[in-house]
Amino acid sequence: AQSVTQLDSHVSVSEGTPVLLRCNYSSSYSPSLFWYVQHPNKGLQLLLKYTSAATLVKGINGFEAEFKKSETSFHLTKPSAHMSDAAEYFCVVGGGYQKVTFGTGTKLQVIP
Amino acid sequence: EAQVTQNPRYLITVTGKKLTVTCSQNMNHEYMSWYRQDPGLGLRQIYYSMNVEVTDKGDVPEGYKVSRKEKRNFPLILESPSPNQTSLYFCASSAVLTGGTEAFFGQGTRLTVV
């Protein structure tokens, strides 16, 4: 069995300040983990993925995430928020042959 | 361009009137799936298909049907839609290699059942 918990349904940051979106997972095997972004009225776009190589994963648009097995976490970070980052973000476990499970999403608001 | 195409993008229908949402991918992916997205619930998997003629239920399959007669197409069928099926639907495809193969998503179909 596997599950994903996104710890915040809404996060609000000021433009230019750091972003932290938290994700915890549980999986009975070595997980594949992803972050997707969904802009309003758009589909889902892959930000980054972890597949048991480097634990610090760099994605598009300056985002990165660190896989911490001891904490079962895969938090998404960005050093400096931009207005265009305002969107909903989904943490996902699974992929390929594995069942895919989505978190419930975190809406990021960026304040000018 | 690699893409997953869903049609229609928006659909309003009445209770009980059969409808089909089409999904097509041009990446020769084996794995395709359907999700519904509802506020506060994230995306929940409806059905998935590992390859042609191989389909299986996801987490919320009730009231839906699918078929996979060709590799590229994976239509979602609502035989008798009900208002609780009002939702945003996404089709996705991925190559079935090892874990870590990301899914590519369509643009979504917003369905309203009145």
Subunit contact A31:B99, Cβ cutoff 8 A: yes
Contacts of A94 in chain B (CB under 8 A): 99
- DSSP class per residue in B45-96: EEEEEEETTEEEE-S--TT-EE--SSSSB--EEESS--GGG-EEEEEEEE--
Structure tokens, A65: 């995430």
pLDDT above 70: residue B20: yes
Q: Closest to B90 (Cβ–Cβ): which among A43, A96, A104?
A: A43
A88: which strand partners? A38, A107
Per-residue pLDDT tens over the stretch A17-64: 999 999 999 887 777 899 999 998 788 899 998 877 788 999 999 999
Subunit contact B103:A103, Cβ cutoff 8 A: no
Dihedral Cα A69, A75, A77, A82, nearest 10 deg: 160
Question: How far apart (Å, rounded) are the C-alpha atoms in residues A109 and A21?
Answer: 12
Residue of A nearest to B44 (CA): A102
Question: How far apart (Å, rounded) are the C-alpha atoms in residues A79 and A11?
Answer: 15
Among candidate residues A14, A29, A4, the one with its CA nearest the CA of residue A108? A14
Subunit contact A102:B108, Cβ cutoff 8 A: no
> Touching check for B101 and chain A: CB below 8 Å?
yes
**Sheet with strand B19-25: strands edge to edge:** B4-7, B19-25, B76-78, B65-66
Mean pLDDT value across residues B90-113? 83
pLDDT band at A82 (very low <50, low <70, confident <90, very high): very high
What pLDDT, on the 0 to 100 scale, is given for residue B99?
A: 54
Subunit contact B99:A97, Cβ cutoff 8 A: yes
* B75-94 residues touching A, CB cutoff 8 A: 90, 94
What pLDDT, on the 0 to 100 scale, is given for residue A22?
A: 98
Subunit contact B106:A43, Cβ cutoff 8 A: yes
Percentage of residues of chain A with pLDDT beyond 70? 96
What pLDDT, on the 0 to 100 scale, is given for residue A97?
A: 59
Mean pLDDT value across residues B39-60? 91
pLDDT above 70: residue A4: yes
Q: Closest to B100 (Cβ–Cβ): which among A32, A36, A102?
A: A32
Residue of A nearest to B93 (CA): A96
